[in-house]
Amino acid sequence: MSLEKNQLRTFYKSLRAALTDEELERKSLEIRDNVIAFLSERKELTHFHLFFPIPKQREVNTYPIKNYLENKGCAIYTSRVGSDSLALQTLFLKHDTEFQFDSWGIPVPLDFDLVNNESIQAVFVPLLAFDQKGNRIGFGKGYYDVFLASLDPSVLKIGLSFFSPEVSIPSELHDVPLDYCITTESVIIF
């Protein structure tokens, strides 16, 4: 992993940490509104994989997106770490399920079915930073790169970000680029 990636990771973690709770919620709702506008032009999409925010990481609050998708009758999936080192298991969420935190502070649904990922049409991808080509930096464990690589190539990979893109981020062969990134201000197409 490059020094530049680690520096960017540290920088964006500090930017997130500087957000007040009110700013984080306002920005999350702005992203939700842009997700709604994005999906209004893509009514064929009905099966979504969604990450849920780790509070200590100050991630985008995706529960408002979940509520919107549920109200539209969409199928919602998420993941949890499986027994394999980098493999994520796909979970189909039951409507209005509650969540509990696992040992890493990741919200995990209490009511779900363990399924394969063949029905997923779009994945909302967590990230710390992204660039103008769709490369992204996550937390460095590689879970999402392995997961995204396992999906059909037609599945849309959609980042959610509080911040604008960098010009360029170093990428490695195993990195899976985004198709779109939705920010507080716009939808960026790669």
**pLDDT tens digits, the chain, 190 residues: what are they?**
456 888 999 999 999 999 999 999 999 999 999 999 999 999 999 999 999 999 999 999 999 999 999 999 999 999 988 766 667 899 999 988 999 998 888 899 999 999 999 999 999 999 999 999 999 998 867 789 889 999 999 999 999 999 999 999 988 888 899 999 999 999 999 9
Q: At what angle do helices 21-40 and 63-71 cross, to 10 degrees?
A: 30
Nearest-angstrom CA–CA distance, 142 and 121: 21
| Six token digits for residue 44 | 């064929």
| Burial (CB count within 10 angstroms: exposed 0-12, middle 13-18, buried 19+), residue 7 | exposed
pTM score of the predicted model: 0.93
Provide the CATH topology of domain 3-189: Rossmann fold (3.40.50)
Binding-site entries for substrate:
59
Binding-site entries for ATP:
5-9, 136-144
Nearest to 179 by CA among 157, 147, 161: 157
Task: For residue 54, count other CB atoms closer than 10 A to its CB.
Answer: 16
Binding-site entries:
5-9, 59, 136-144
